[in-house]
């Protein structure tokens, strides 16, 4: 089978060794002659998976004492609601940095349950930059940010911490890609389907002492305390996505952890951005200082070349590179599992277009 270079924005590429182990477990997990899809989530074999996944998150991200790690259902979109219900006081206010489609959806959910303040927005330039120099009003319960914007190709490089303001971050598309200081955050949440595993589970890292202070009556499934008390097993957890996420975190640890992958990710991004900047037929869409290391967005400067270029990249086995309709052009998603060799294939194809 010929090599496919998968630049999909998500569900995204997974490491090949992880895929092999995951596929074997579908047939026979832990030599039980049972599939990972069949075993009880209360069995010692799966409890060990959950415990290991949680421990790996804590180790790789250096999660401090006083934080809980959860693997839950509902996607990051449910995280929008969990943020409000668990951190916005009754008659309170949430502050939001609006940097793209997902942050915009998060603040729209906030409007349904409370009041909000948009402290800054890049919508005036179709979200092609990250606002800077803004301040958060004193009467807000938290500041919500989306650290990486998959559609528009921007990433927050300098995290906007502010004294006496709780910081909550949707890190769905750059979790585990670079070092972070977990103690800066009240809560981090991230869908698995970019850098961890298949869609179906969402990672939460939450500071325990900040919960239970809103004065709200929170529906059971949306109350983070419910899931902390039950160790992510209040209801049947998404067993397979958690297992694959565990395998991915084991792969990451075995190769050198966050420090290793951050260096690799920078090398991959530099390779592609250097070609975009040096090749007159291509142009990046995001402000250079805010360019994402996970989602590289670019357009042709000569649209008459589109049919030829599309034919060229398809011929070499490139997949999932078409840009989102809100930006157009192309989007190369280069998450942790994307090998630099695949990026070189794309760069070589871009070079050939000009010759």
Mean pLDDT by 10 residues, the chain (355 residues): 84 94 96 94 95 98 98 95 94 94 92 89 97 92 97 96 92 98 98 96 98 94 97 95 98 98 98 98 98 98 96 96 94 97 97 86
> In the 8-state DSSP scheme, what is residue 322?
B
Between 3.90.1150.10, 3.40.50.300, 1.10.1040.10, 3.40.640.10, what CATH number should domain 5-15+256-354 receive? 3.90.1150.10
Nearby residues of 306 by Cβ (< 8 Å), 6 or more positions away: 300
Which residue of the set 102, 141, 174, 290 is catalytic?
A: 102
Q: Is 251 a known active-site residue?
A: no
Which residue of the set 82, 194, 290, 313 is catalytic?
A: 194
Between 3.40.50.720, 3.50.50.60, 3.40.50.300, 3.40.640.10, what CATH number should domain 16-255 receive? 3.40.640.10
Work out the number of other CB atoms within 10 angstroms of the CB of residue 301: 11
Question: b/e per residue, 306-334, with b = 16+ CB within 10 A?
Answer: eeebeebbeeeebebbebbeebebbbbbb
* CA–CA separation, 121 and 132 (whole Å): 9
pLDDT digits (tens, 9 = 90+) for 13-43: 999 999 999 999 999 999 999 999 999 999 9
Q: Is 170 a known active-site residue?
A: yes
* Cis peptide leading into residue 11 (ω within 30°): yes
Which residue of the set 170, 174, 223, 290 is catalytic?
A: 170
Q: Where in the chain is the domain with CATH 3.40.640.10?
A: 16-255
Q: Is 305 a known active-site residue?
A: no
* CA–CA separation, 305 and 311 (whole Å): 10
Q: Where in the chain is the domain with CATH 3.90.1150.10?
A: 5-15+256-354
């Amino acid at each position: 089978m010929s090599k496919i270079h998968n630049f999909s924005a998500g569900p995204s590429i997974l490491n090949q060794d992880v895929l092999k182990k995951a596929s074997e477990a579908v047939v026979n997990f832990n030599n039980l002659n049972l599939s990972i899809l069949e075993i009880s989530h209360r069995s010692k074999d799966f409890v060990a998976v959950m415990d290991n996944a949680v421990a790996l998150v804590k180790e790789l991200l250096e999660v401090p004492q006083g934080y809980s790690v959860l693997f839950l259902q509902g996607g990051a979109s449910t995280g929008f609601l969990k943020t409000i219900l668990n951190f916005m006081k009754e008659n309170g206010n949430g502050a939001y940095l609006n940097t793209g489609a997902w942050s915009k959806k998060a603040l729209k959910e906030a409007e349904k349950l409370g009041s909000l303040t948009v402290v800054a927005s890049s919508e005036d330039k179709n979200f092609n930059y990250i606002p800077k120099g803004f301040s958060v009003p004193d009467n807000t319960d938290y500041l919500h940010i989306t650290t990486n914007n998959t559609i528009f190709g921007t990433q927050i490089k300098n995290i906007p911490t502010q004294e006496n303001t709780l910081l909550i971050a949707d890190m769905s598309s750059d979790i585990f890609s670079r070092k972070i200081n977990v103690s800066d955050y009240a809560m981090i949440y991230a869908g698995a389907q970019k850098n961890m595993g298949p869609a179906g589970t969402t990672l939460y890292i939450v500071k325990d002492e900040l919960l239970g202070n809103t004065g709200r009556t929170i529906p059971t499934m949306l109350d983070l305390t419910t899931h902390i008390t039950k160790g992510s097993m209040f209801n049947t957890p998404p067993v397979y996505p958690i297992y694959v996420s565990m395998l991915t975190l084991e792969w990451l640890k075995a190769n050198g952890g966050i420090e290793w992958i951050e260096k690799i990710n920078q090398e991959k991004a530099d390779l592609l951005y250097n070609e975009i900047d040096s090749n007159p037929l291509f142009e990046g869409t995001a402000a250079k200082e805010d360019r994402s290391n996970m989602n590289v967005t670019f357009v042709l400067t000569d649209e008459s070349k589109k049919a030829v270029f599309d034919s060229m990249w398809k011929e070499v086995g490139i997949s999932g590179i078409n840009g989102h309709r809100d930006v157009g052009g192309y989007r190369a998603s280069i998450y942790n599992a994307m090998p630099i060799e695949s990026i070189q294939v794309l760069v070589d194809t871009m070079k050939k277009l000009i010759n």
